[in-house]
Structure 1
Amino acid sequence: MSMIRDTSGQDQMVQHKPKKLKPVLLIAGVLSLVTWAGYAMMNTDNVSQSVDKAQLQIATVIKGDLVRDIATTGKIVAANAPKAYSPEQGFVTLQVKAGDSVEKGQVIAEVESPELNNSLKQQESELARLQGELARSELEARRQTLTLNKTLDMAQVELSAAERENRRAKLSIEKSLISQIDLEKAVDDLAKAKLTFKHAQQEVELAKDTLAFELQSSQSQVARQQLVVDELQRKVRNLNVKASVSGIVGNLLVQPKAMVTKNQALLTLVDLSAFEAELQVPESYANDLGIGMQVELKMGTELVIGTLSAISPEVNNREVTTRVRFNQSDISNIRQNQRLSGRILLENRSDVLMVKRGGFMNAGGYVAYKLSGERAERIEINTGVTSINHVEVLSGLAQGDEIIISNYDTFKNADAVLLR
């Protein structure tokens, strides 16, 4: 009987060798170690936020010229846009339409005033009456002057006769041809004739002065009435309303053939040769504005330089209205109410430490996140004046530093953030 053999004779001793770690597992272990070390370091440095660097705005602190300015918007307005008014009460006839071109002195409206025309005719009639009375007074003065001269001449003749009789009496008394009584009578007659002639001279002079006064009074009445007529004639001529400037008709303020009152506005005119810009400035900048400041205006693709010429003393809708006068007169292709943007240059500072303006100013400009490698640390800073593009840095940063200028609301006041 044969026996079954076991397999012990077939077994062989095999020596166990340790397996080598694959390179992939080794790299994974190193990365895990580095990650653990990084988180450990973050915990040590109080880093509680991690943000994507690509989503942030980063700017470098530089030195240069900072132009403090204000960005505004506005429109083109006519510097000279007068209104035409009705000179009297009446019915108006408009000779132009809105948008028509007009020349200075052109009749643009006519006002029909029957009352004024009737008053003119009455005063002209009164003037004619006074002129007639003046002519009659002049004739009467000539007549009275002739009578006065006649009286004076008769007195002169009587005086000459008395002088002649006096001489004859003296000669006759020497030859004893007449008595002493006749001589005395001749002397009395001469004295009487002299007195009569003297009084006649005085009466003539007084009468001539009276006539001259009355004549001058009549002339004054005529002159005064002439002024009244001239004024009414001027008012009648002004019923033809004329354009005060050359330009275009703006808005019609009354309907044709409408009844208008004295000094009622009829229409507006726009002087195309004189334009200004009207800008709206936020009231927070009102105290920084000053007459004469330089302004850059952009109308489409054209850049125009102007000067601040007027500042409104009141605030409307939290804005202050300003006027800008153009420094150049050869501006073309501009129209009334054309929209534009502007930049008012408040101040120009040289060699200023500054950084690009961004959302970080919403925090008040007292803190910033300064870049240090792959992290940003929260630091305190002081800022000064701002412009449209830059903000002045007074302290806390140096030239060449990089800071995050994005909004800091997502940082939650963390002392440091990790940039990934």
Structure 2
Amino acid sequence: MVMHNKINSPASGAAMDTVVPRRHGRRIAIALACVVVAAVAAYALRALLPRGLRVDGADLRIAQVARGVFVDEIVVRANAEPLHSVILDAVESGRVEEVLATDGALVKQGELLFRISNPQRHLELLARQSEHAVSIFNLSNLRVAQEASASDHQRRLDELRFNAEQARKRHERNTRLAQQGFISTVALEESNDMLQQQQQLLALQERAGKTEARVRDAAARQLETAIGGLDSGLKLVSGTVDALAVRAPVDGRLTNFRLQVGESVATGKNIGRIDDPVRFKLAASVDEYYLNRMAVGRHGSVKQDDRDYPADIRAIYPQIKDGRFTVDLVFTKGQPPVMNPGQSLDARITLGEPAPALLLPSGAFINDSGGAWVYVLDADGRGAQRRALRVGRRNNAQIEVLAGLAAGDKVIVSSYAAYGNSPRLQLDR
């Protein structure tokens, strides 16, 4: 029996081809562990990082966006002012000699208020009066001379006409006598020459008289024109002297009148005004945002003692000061029975018709963001995110939302001044 020694036989490669199963569970466990570690790290990082600017939630004013009717009107504070006022400025300079009125008094048109002295004006008046008197005297002398010259001319003219008429009659007689042969041809020629001479002298005198009359009339007209100018100057100087006694130009209440005897007054100095004591208007200060929407004739109203008094915009003053401009309103159907200058009233101005809109209550935030963005609360109310906003019309209580918010959103409407440009707020309760 032959025995085979397996130890010494060469090894076969079949044993090395055995498939070893892969260990997928280990890799999955490693991946899960990495995910858990990453989640824990992210949570820890989130816990360590700040969640926005921390603010005290108790100090915030929060409002909710809702659909409703936008009332296109604003309420502004207005002051009562006299409907008509006449400014009193000094027309002449001088020294106050007498004060006859007091500040706040009711005065009548033409009533003497005060009197000033100005010696220079009196001297000017005397000089103009003298010039006027001299011109009147010269005109009178001219007219006397004209009358004398006209009389002399008329006398000479009458004489020449008489002589011409006599020469004509003589020549006619000589003509008849010459035809009968009683006088010579030479005598007839002499009478004809005499007639021609008298007629020429008459015509020359008539032309000279007309020329002289034209010259006299032109000189008289020039002197009359000069006198007319002197009359105007005299009236002007007399008016300046009369202006030294200042009288009330209209009826009304004297305001800001504080002149004292002995005080020097310069030309153009404001010395007060006269106000209408009965009729008033309203001067309202309006935010510059509404300037483009204001127009003369827009309707408004004020309320006093549970009664509305209609008032329309009469004037708009577009000069902006401290972010506001001024409009004047006048009452159209009567004014409140009790009104005083400077009295404050709330005036309601209508800018358009009511219309459905998405509304956000107005607040201090509108001045800080200009309506370009707001802080919108998270669903849990623990934070607020900055969000872009587009608004339309606004009034004292409402803002029309055009884009950026939806009904039900809660918005911080208190001031944003302390938040800077922070994109997110964390609310502490």
| TM more than 0.5 | yes
1:356·1:405 contact (CA, 8 Å) conserved in 2? no
1:370·1:402 contact (CA, 8 Å) conserved in 2? no
Structure 2 CA distance, aligned partners of 1:144 and 1:219?
Answer: 19
What do the CA deviations read for 1:160-216 (whole angstroms, capped 9, x no partner)?
Answer: 222222223223333433333222222221222222222122222222222222333
Q: Which of the residues 383, 391, 405 maps onto 1:384?
A: 391
Which has the larger displacement, 362-371 or 340-349?
A: 362-371
Q: Look up the SS of the partner of 2:358 in the other structure.
A: strand
RMSD, matched Cα: 4.0
5+ unaligned residues in a row in structure 2: which ranges?
1-42, 52-56
Q: Which of the residues 67, 91, 94 maps onto 2:95?
A: 91
Q: Cα 1:116–1:299, aligned 2, differ >3 Å: closer, same or farther?
A: farther
Match of 1:250 in 2: 255
- Listed as ranges, the matches of 1:361-380 within 5 Å are 366=374, 368-369=376-377
Match of 1:126 in 2: 131
1:305·1:327 contact (CA, 8 Å) conserved in 2? yes
Match of 2:200 in 1: 195
Match of 1:181 in 2: 186
Structure 1 CA distance, aligned partners of 2:63 and 2:218?
Answer: 97
1:276·1:323 contact (CA, 8 Å) conserved in 2? no
Q: Which of the residues 99, 102, 115 maps onto 2:120?
A: 115
Match of 2:14 in 1: none
Structure 1 CA distance, aligned partners of 2:119 and 2:82?
Answer: 36
Match of 1:24 in 2: none
Q: Cα 1:148–1:395, aligned 2, differ >3 Å: closer, same or farther?
A: closer
Structure 1 CA distance, aligned partners of 2:127 and 2:185?
Answer: 75
Structure 2 CA distance, aligned partners of 1:240 and 1:359?
Answer: 57
What do the CA deviations read for 1:9-52 (whole angstroms, capped 9, x no partner)?
Answer: xxxxxxxxxxxxxxxxxxxxxxxxxxxxxxxxxx9xx9x9xxxx
1:95·1:107 contact (CA, 8 Å) conserved in 2? yes
Query: Is 1:260 aligned to residue 265 of structure 2?
Result: yes
What do the CA deviations read for 1:224-283 (whole angstroms, capped 9, x no partner)?
Answer: 222222222233333332323322111125433322122222222222244232333344
Aligned amino acid, residue 389 of structure 1: A
Q: Look up the SS of the partner of 2:273 in the other structure.
A: strand
Query: Is 1:339 aligned to residue 310 of structure 2?
Result: no
**Normalising by structure 1, what TM-score?**
0.71
Q: Cα 1:202–1:338, aligned 2, differ >3 Å: closer, same or farther?
A: same
What percentage of aligned pairs have identical amino acids?
18
Query: Is 1:323 aligned to residue 331 of structure 2?
Result: no
1:322, distance to aligned residue in structure 2 (A): 0.7
Q: Look up the SS of the partner of 2:126 in the other structure.
A: helix
What do the CA deviations read for 1:128-159 (whole angstroms, capped 9, x no partner)?
Answer: 22222222222221211111111111111211
Structure 1 CA distance, aligned partners of 2:185 and 2:60?
Answer: 148
Q: Cα 1:302–1:201, aligned 2, differ >3 Å: closer, same or farther?
A: same
What do the CA deviations read for 1:315-373 (whole angstroms, capped 9, x no partner)?
Answer: 33x2323123123333321111122334444444412233544688789764544889x
Structure 1 CA distance, aligned partners of 2:365 and 2:88?
Answer: 54
Q: Which of the residues 63, 68, 71 maps onto 1:67?
A: 71
5+ unaligned residues in a row in structure 1: which ranges?
1-42
**Count of residues in correspondence between the two structures:** 365
Structure 2 CA distance, aligned partners of 1:241 and 1:171?
Answer: 89
1:280·1:319 contact (CA, 8 Å) conserved in 2? no
- Listed as ranges, the matches of 1:3-402 within 5 Å are 62-92=66-96, 93-283=98-288, 285=289, 287-292=291-296, 293-297=298-302, 303-316=308-321, 318-328=322-332, 329-357=334-362, 366=374, 368-369=376-377, 384-385=391-392, 386-394=394-402, 401=408
Q: Cα 1:408–1:376, aligned 2, differ >3 Å: closer, same or farther?
A: farther
Structure 1 CA distance, aligned partners of 2:167 and 2:248?
Answer: 80
